[in-house]
Amino acid sequence: MLTVFHCFGQYFCLHFEAFQLGMAPVYMAFLRFMGDENEARNYSYSLEVGANGRKMVWEGTPRSVRDSHRKVRDSHDGLLIQRNMALFFSGGDRKELKLRITGRIWKETQTPDGTCVPVLCS
């Protein structure tokens, strides 16, 4: 599944997919930047999944779309959720997967005194 976001005048793609890690089914969400790797380093993001009073959080730098999808997935550079945790977060009878992933994208800007301040995408 792919969702595109427009923040700070740039485009980002949120990927979510299921795959096998060894013998275990896992789910992974990660953000890619529609530009080169040097520009991607100007941004940070966080992804969060949770329910039932529990949550998992991933924070990182988006990867450039110029890196292959497989390279990003195989490096596990994103929010990695094991199936049992995904079912726990889905609630109910734990047979149907219903995950709600939320996130933020930000970039750091410097104030006149040199302090770095995060600016969130709204």
The region of weakest confidence among 41-45, 68-72, 95-99 is 95-99
Question: In Å, how far from its chain's centre is CA 31?
Answer: 5
Ordered by where they begin, the domains of the chain are 2-121 (2.60.210.10)
More confident residue, 97 or 50: 50
The DSSP line for 63-100 is EETTS-HHHHHHTT-SEEEEHHHHHHHH-TTSSS----
Task: State residue 35's pLDDT score.
Answer: 94
